[in-house]
Amino acid sequence: MNVTVIFFLGLIIALVGVVPPGLLNMTAAKISLKEGYSRGIIFSIGVCLIVFLQTYIAAMFARYLSNHQNVVEILQRVAFVIFVLITIYFLLLAKASVKPDVEPLSRSKQSRFFQGMFLSAINVFPIPYQAYMTITIASFGWFNFDAMSILTYCSGASTGTFVMLYVYIFFFDKIKNKKFTSQKNMNYIIGAITGIVAGVTLINIIMEM
C-alpha cells in the first residue's frame, strides 16, 4: 500500500478520535486562551509525541492479533456490540448537561511540553482504539504490518491529533458559545462517529463469514 495513503489513513482515524471534547483538546484550548497560542502548541507537541508511541504499541499489538485470527474474530464481534451500545446511548439516551465554563489556566512555570506528555500518557484510550482500527484497515488490505507502514501510520496519527488540537487552540474561543459545541450536539457527533465505526465493523464481519 502506498505510504501516502497509509499516512492519511492514520491522520483521518486519529483526527476522528480527537473530535469530541476531551481532556487533551480542552486543556490545549484552555492553555491557549490564557497563555497564548504558542504555549498551547508546545503542549500539543508533547501530546503528539506520546500519541506516536501509543499508536506504535497499538500497531504491534494488532500485528500480534493478526496472526491469531480466531482472537480477532471474537474481538470484532465484541467491539461491534460495544460500538452499537455507545451509539444508542449518545444518540438516544444521553441527556444534555449544563456545560461548565472554560476556566483558563493560570500561567504555570512547569513545561507545557511535559504536561502534554503526561496527560497524553494517562489517556490510554488511543491504544485499544488504534489497535482495533489498524486491524480493521489491514483486513481490507489497506495496511501491512511492515516497519515502514507502521512508522508511516504512526506519523499520520500524530499529525491528525495535532491538527485537531490546533483547531481547538485557534478556534475554540470563537465557537465555544455556538450551537455546534453544545453538549447535545457533541453527543450526536460522538454517536455518529461510533455508529460509523460499528457499521464498518459489521461489514468486516459479514465479509469474513
Question: Is 53's pLDDT higher than 90?
Answer: yes
Q: Looking at the predicted structure, is the pLDDT value of residue 183 above 70? A: no
73 and 148 in contact (C-beta within 8 Å)? no
Domain boundaries, the chain: 3-82+108-175
19 three-class SS: coil
Lowest mean pLDDT among 22-26, 28-32, 105-109: 105-109
Contacts by 137-141 with C-beta closer than 8 Å and gap 24+?
Answer: 137/9, 137/13, 138/62, 138/66, 139/72, 139/204, 139/207, 139/208, 140/204, 141/1
Confidence of residue 199 (pLDDT cuts 50, 70, 90): confident
Q: Does residue 163 contact residue 48 with C-beta atoms inside 8 Å? A: no
At 185, which amino acid appears? N
Compare 8 and 64 and report the one with higher pLDDT. Answer: 8
What single letter denotes the amino acid at residue 137?
I
Residue 21: is its pLDDT beyond 80?
A: no
The lowest-confidence range among 59-68, 101-110, 116-125, 151-160 is: 101-110
| Helical segments of 37-97, H only | 37-66, 69-88
What is the predicted pLDDT for the residue at 135?
84
- Specify the residue for cell string 451500545: 85
pLDDT top residue among 199 and 55: 55
Higher pLDDT, 207 or 132: 132
For residue 124, pLDDT beyond 90: no
Are the C-beta atoms of residues 25 and 202 closer than 8 Å to each other?
A: no
Convert the pLDDT of each residue in 4-19 to its tens digit.
899 999 999 998 888 7
Backbone angles phi, psi at 156, to 5 degrees: -65, -40
